[in-house]
Amino acid sequence: MAHLKRFLPWQHTQIAYEIMQTCDALAPMVSIEAFAQAIQNNHGWMIMSNDNEYIGYWTISDIIFFHDACLHMTIKDDFRGHWLNKEILREVFNYVFNDLGCRRVTVNVFKGVHDIAMKFSERLGFRFEGCKRQGACFPDGTAFDVVQYGMLREECKWL
């Protein structure tokens, strides 16, 4: 069964970047410097396998205390469908809703690239809120629609 380890950006940037490089179609567009800058203020956890191998990460960004936060998750392809458990979900959502005091949590997904994440978000209890056309743009000019999902505290089944 997988478990969580606190994510400290200055300690885990290289590991998180390597995980992203193995499982994200957009990874070649992101340098380690840009990745490090993007996660420098994130809170979160590294996801560890039973053998204490780093297999993914959850991070939280754009925190507006007592209101909203944006949740991000990446998992190695080999472990998809074999790592998630109720303890992990309780820890993540307890942190967002109780420790940070948020009323809601947001997930943004690049449409056409991370479609599996849309289904995953819905299974966790997130609700579709809309699509921001060309809501994300990379340095090479590639633009993606961003699908937004949200979950209110009272809708969370993991607390």
120-153 tens-digit pLDDT: 999 999 999 999 999 988 777 889 899 999 999 9
Kindly report the backbone phi and psi dihedral angles of residue 21, in degrees, each rounded to the nearest multiple of 5, phi listed first.
-65, -30
pLDDT tens digits, residue range 13-44? 888 888 877 776 666 667 888 878 888 888 88
Nearest by Cα to 30 from 149, 144, 125: 144
- What pLDDT is stored for residue 94 in this prediction? 95
Count of H-run helices and E-run strands, the chain: 4, 7
Those residues whose C-beta lies under 8 Å from the C-beta of residue 82, and which sit 6 or more positions away, are none
**Domains in the chain and their CATH numbers?**
3-155 (3.40.630.30)
User: Rounded to an integer, what distance in angstroms lies between the CA atom of residue 138 and that of residue 108?
Assistant: 15
pLDDT tens digits, residue range 54-85? 888 888 988 898 999 999 888 887 887 777 78
